[in-house]
Every structure is written in structure tokens, then in C-alpha cells.
Amino acid sequence: MAKLVFIGAGSLGFTRELVRDCLTFPSMRDAHFALVDIHPGRLAMSQQACQKLVDAGNYPARITATTDRRKALKDADAVMITILCGNVDVWQYDITIPKKYGVDINVGDTRGPSGIFRALRTIPEMLAICRDIERLCPNAVVLNYTNPMAMLCQAMQKTTQAHVTGLCHSVQGTAVMLASWAGVPYKEVDYVCAGINHLAWYTKFEHRRRDLYPVLREKVRTDRKIYNTEQVRNELFLAFDYYVTESSGHNSEYSWWFRKRPDLIRKYCTTGTGWNPGRHAYILNEYRARVRDWEKRFRQWLNSPEWQDPVQVAKKLARGHEYAASIVNAWLGNELFRFNGNVLNTGRMITNLPQDCCVEVPVLASRGAMNPMYVGDLPRQVVPITSLSATCETLAVEAALTGNPRLVYQAVASDPLTAAILSLAEIRDMVNAMLRQNRGHLPQFKHFTV
């Protein structure tokens, strides 16, 4: 019997999707799913949701729940992490303080001033989780879904022995989108995607050995519906010849070009960003709505009439597109699985990015092992923005590990969006304001002024 631990299991929808996926594999039909969260109410509902899946599929699995992660981690085979350090009320200042200084942020969970401060708050807790894993389940695979992905993974991989990688569904999600634009089945597409989280590039995108980029380039240039679906990413594609992962709303934050003036935000970040409108604080407001409605939405799911329809139940129990279950299945000694994961670049999988940064590259999961694959050089034209962002992330990780506020300032000062709008003196003032606001959440810092 495998034991799978979910830390941050109060993330109801995500936890039940991952549990559902795991149950579809014979190796995990009878698994022990141990759910952990600091919010007892959300934890209880997550346990109910997972038990509903087990009962509906008549699986011999066991669901337990606890607020004590050390109790859950004992002898685990796999650990999935989906946490938020500091609630939405804390997160809001990552968005509102930069806005006062003119830096308009859409999501703010990956990089830039907002992502950096989220990393500063979260890294100490992630390292504490890994220390518990080292003691209680040192052979477990650890799959992180928490953002900022690259900074958290880099900190864990540099300072602990836990078998950590980070997963982001933007890789397979974007590949599905591009295959549909090209008019080919996704399962017949062969691609190589590499870079850093949310700034990874499809260096190859083929169907039966036929390069699909000429088709995609023509579609983006001539089909207004396709162009308007992802304006930011399509502009990047037309400029740099390779397609990037993650939505246009997110990507508008990662560069100099799209959010530095109100007219550019209106043009590129309002109606042409797919699922994620690029408007200010979009995801923050979505989370606020979820916090208000989470119990109502859970009850609707739990009591849906679809549970009485065998066809609908089969759909509810079908495996989704997340990587986690397939990785755990391989780790347990079953089918090999290739995925894009976040790993240190120490083996120089990407030869023209810094050796000590965290990269997102193809990885092969097998029994008790994850083997990153060599990619080589990224195309030269995408290196400046990718390498700069990777360097900012590494500075932020060093700041979190050392408690040095000057490194925070230096990381934010080199952020492309921030630097396009503010002077160095203005950035210093903004960082000081954010340090003061986060004072109670940064135990590793002794000083809160740059």
C-alpha cells in the first residue's frame, strides 16, 4: 500500500483532482491518502470530497486527515505541496503597494516584487516541511505545486536532501492549445520545452516530424480570433519565433513591453489574454471570491445530481492532465514517465542559463529517481529575458536564505517590469514599504530597511 501525503489539502479542487488521478493507477487504488491542512474546516471538507471519489469508484483506498503534518509524513512514498503562507489579506499588499508606485500587477505569484515577497514568506515554511521529510520519509518524492515555483524549488533543492521537483500545468496546457491551433491531435505532437517556470520555450513543436511552427506563425499572423486569444504571448511569438508557456496575463508581468503604460495595458491586457484577463489584481480578486464561496461551491459539488448518473460519475473519476499521479506511479516502480519539471541547472541541462538557477526542462521519472534531460542552448533571442529573470530569482532566494534586505532590493531593481517604470530610488522606497508590511512574516530578517 502506497502512502501519499497532501500538504495544503484545504485547496479543495486541486487536492481532489490529484487524488482522483492517483486512484486511476492500479499501484494507488488501495493507497493511503493522508491529508494535511492548518484549517480544520477546509481539511474536513477535503476529506469528504476525497472519500466521495473513493466511494464512487469503489476503491479500496483509505483517506485520513490531520493538522499535524509530522504524523502524516511518517513513511510516506510521495508528498504533494499546495500551500499559501499568509492569507489573502497578506497577499493583497504584494499587489497594492507596488500599484501605489506605478507597478501594475496582474497575478504576482511568480516573480517581480510581488512574487519575490511571496517567496520570502514561503521559503522558511517549505524548508521546514523538507526537514520533516528528511527525518520521516527520506525516500519520498516531493512534488511542489506552490508558487513562486522556481524560487521555492531552488531553495529546497539547494539546502535539503528531499527529492523535490516542481510542477506547472502551463507546459501541457499550452501544448494542447498550440496543437488545436495547428489542427493536429495533441497526442500526436512531439515537443521540447525548456527555460524557467512560466518562461519556458517550445524549442521544438512537431507533428509526425513535421515542424508546426510555420503553420502556427501563419495562423497567429492571419487569424484574428487566434491572435486575440493570447495577444501578449502571440506578440512574443511573432517577435522571438518561439512560443512561451503560461498565460498572457501572467506573461505581461515578466517583461518590459506590456504593462509599463495604461494604454499598453488596455491594448494587450484587457480582452486578449485567454482565461486570465490581464487586468490589475485579477487573481487576487478571484481568490477573494473563492474564500467567500468555498463552502457553497464544495456543497454544490458534493451534492451534484451527476453523482446519480453512471456516465457522469465515470467522467468525474477519469484521469485529468496533471503530471503528479503519473510521476508517483513511475516513482513506485511502474511505467516510466516524461514530464517537464523544475530542477537545479547544476548539470547544465540548459547551457546558456546560469548554473545555479532553477530551470524547467524535460525529466524522466522512474523507480525512485528523477532524471533531468540535457537540452543545450536556448535560442539566443529568448536568453536575455529568461536569464535576467532567472538571476533575479536566484538573488531573491539568497535573500530569503540569508535574511539580507539588500539582496531583496537588488532582485526587485532588476525585475524588467519594475525597472521599466521606476528609478532606483523609487524602487528602494517601494521595497522598504513592502519589507515593513511583511515584517511579521519574515522571521529570517533582522533588518527591514534597504
Query: Does residue 169 carry a catalytic annotation?
Result: yes
Whole-number pLDDT of residue 238 = 98
* Joined grid coordinates for residue 347: 548539470
Q: Is 263 a domain residue?
A: no
C-alpha–C-alpha distance, residues 427 and 420, integer Å: 11
Q: Is 209 a domain residue?
A: no
Q: Is 406 a domain residue?
A: no
C-alpha–C-alpha distance, residues 137 and 123, integer Å: 20
Extended beta strands in 387-434, E state = none
Per the structure, the count of domains in the chain is 1
Whole-number pLDDT of residue 216 = 98
Mean pLDDT across 167-194: 97
The active-site residue out of 39, 169, 280, 441 is 169
Q: Is 22 a domain residue?
A: yes
- Residue 93 lies in domain: 3-168
C-alpha–C-alpha distance, residues 308 and 312, integer Å: 8
User: What's the CATH number where 64 sits?
Assistant: 3.40.50.720
Residue tagged 542552448 (cell numbers): 377
* Percent of the chain topping pLDDT 90: 89
Question: 380: left (phi > 0), else alpha (psi -120 to 50), else beta?
Answer: alpha
Q: Is 361 a domain residue?
A: no
Q: Is 76 a domain residue?
A: yes
Q: What is the pLDDT of residues 123-164, one digit of tens each?
A: 999 999 999 999 999 999 999 999 999 999 999 999 999 999
Q: Is 122 a domain residue?
A: yes
State the pairing for strand pair 337-344/358-366: antiparallel
- CA angle (421, 411, 430) in 5-degree steps: 50
Q: What is the pLDDT of residues 26-47, one digit of tens each?
A: 999 999 999 999 999 999 999 9
Q: Is 99 a domain residue?
A: yes
State the pairing for strand pair 3-7/32-36: parallel
**Residue 282: CB partners within 8 Å, gap ≥ 6?**
106, 107, 249, 276
- CA-closest candidate to residue 149, choices 125, 115, 173, 184: 115
pTM: 0.96
Query: What's the gap between Cα 58 and its chain centre?
Result: 32
Whole-number pLDDT of residue 288 = 84
CB atoms within 10 A of CB 35: 26
